[in-house]
Amino acid sequence: MRKIYKINGLFCLFLILLSSCQEDNIASYSGPVAVNMSSNGSREFGMTFVESGDILESTFDIVLSVQGEVSYQDRVVKFVFGDKQTAVSGTNFEMPGEALIPAGELTDTITCKVFKAGLTYDPLLIDLQIAPNVNFECGGVYGQILVKVMLGYPTEWYASEGDIFWADYLLGKCTQARYKFVSATIGTIDLKEYALKPWGAGFTQLAKELNALLEKNPLLDDDGSNMKFGM
């Protein structure tokens, strides 16, 4: 009898383990084979060139990730530009027309290059999307990259000649909004006309003129406060 009980006990244990294994089965992905895109974890970002800066071009990488199963054949990813596209390929930027997910892999990376020449302070958009083809039915959950490219204002006061030392004290901290207002008022981002005057006298004069304009037509600074020049 002990043998029978022992055999029955082992049989019950086998049934319990079998049931447990069946309950732990993980459902496999059954949706469309698609491609997701990101760049440093982001799908929307900006690239700004300072007009007076020496950097003429810049790059960013896009990581492509397959939403689906591994294939034992190379798979081609094709791209298309969306409705928001305003940047001109070959002029404002360069990127591959397609990418390749190697056999046995689920990811690949492409590099895009953006050019400063031709950009303005009004942003241009790169609206990159996945084009359906025989390998991939569509873009995945993250099937779009949106990049804003433009010229920007310096984050430090700039003068090609003269002493810029006094600018931070007499104009105040440099912000994008302040520099935009300065440039619109004097017609340039180059403060050499004011930097050439001794002991910061030019910046004192400029701050007084700018504040007089702001009293009539107030503007907001980068932090949302009312713009004001000086200490």
- List Cα–Cα distances, 62 to 4, 42, 49, 122, in angstroms: 65, 10, 20, 24
- Give the closest residue to 81 by CA, choosing from 65, 92, 62, 97: 97
Note the pLDDT of residue 6. 47
One-letter amino acid for residue 175 of the chain: T
Place 29 in a pLDDT band, splitting at 50, 70 and 90: low
**164, 157 Cβ separation under 8 angstroms:** yes
Residue 23 pLDDT greater than 80, yes or no: no
Q: What is the mean pLDDT of residues 183-189?
A: 92
Name the average pLDDT for the chain: 88
Model pTM score: 0.70
Q: Quick one: tokens of 176?
A: 């994008």
pLDDT band at 24 (very low <50, low <70, confident <90, very high): very low
Q: Do 220 and 181 contact (CB within 8 A), yes or no?
A: no
Number of other CB atoms surrounding residue 46 within 10 Å: 12
Kindly state the average pLDDT of the residues 52-71: 92
